[in-house]
Amino acid sequence: MESLESIAKEILQCKKCSLHRTKTKYVVGSGNERAEVVFIGEAPGREEDERGEPFVGSAGKLLTDMLSMIGLSRDDVFIANVLKCRPPNNRDPLPEEIEACGGYLLRQLEAIKPNIIVCLGRFSAEFIFRNFGLEFSSITKLQGKIFEAEAWGKRLKIIPLYHPAAVLYRPQLRAEYEENFRKIGNVIKKKQKTLSDY
């Protein structure tokens, strides 16, 4: 079985699309390789590009706060993006970039085999839904709902949420966002209770 480390080595040499020419650092992903929960964003932003780590700017701080609210730290989960290089000026990822880069994320997920995938934002949700046989409509309609899919010989939960940056732009979404994170916390607790019943 592939390790996260061997996938990371490959990402650090990647020239599959033109983004490798404009990026500062590859942003491979970080966290626990045995994580029960994986959070997936769309692409690195400016601060991520400078530091080579996902979700380290103000959106990352909000994500960290939400995690601690449900008793998790960044070391408990794995955080990655669909794209491993920053698109210039934080523009949206292009279909051909997602096509070129998405395979790395799928391999990372295969290596971790999480029980829960949380998609942060439209591009992430669209990509994950497509690859796990679910139908994507819009992030506004689907956010906060819990979907089930089959992978790696088990059932897993997929939860689409707004990207934390969207919540920073629209503070009125904050209360609902916190509520949705509590849902994630409840799903984890339920899962742990089921496991402890054996």
pLDDT > 90? residue 97: yes
pLDDT value, residue 194? 64
Q: Which pLDDT value is given to residue 190?
A: 80
Average pLDDT, the chain: 95
- What is the tens place of the pLDDT at every residue in 26-39? 999 999 999 999 99
Which pLDDT score, from 0 to 100, does residue 168 have? 96
> What is the per-residue burial (b if ≥16 Cβ within 10 Å, else e) of 110-140?
ebbbbbbbbbbbbbbbbbbbeebeeebeebe
The distance in angstroms from the start CA to the end CA of the chain is: 27
Confidence of residue 191 (pLDDT cuts 50, 70, 90): confident
- Is residue 19 scored above 90 in pLDDT? yes
Q: For residue 197, name the pLDDT band (cuts at 50, 70, 90).
A: low
Give, as one character, the DSSP assignment of residue 33.
T
The class that CATH gives domain 4-196 is alpha beta
Q: What percent of the chain is modeled with pLDDT above 90?
A: 93
- pLDDT at site 149: 97
- Burial zone of 185 (CB within 10 Å; 0-12 exposed, 13-18 middle, 19+ buried): middle
- Residue 133 CA to residue 52 CA, distance in Å, equals 31
Confidence grade of residue 198 (pLDDT, cut at 50, 70, 90): very low
Q: Is the distance from CB of 180 to CB of 144 less than 8 angstroms?
A: yes
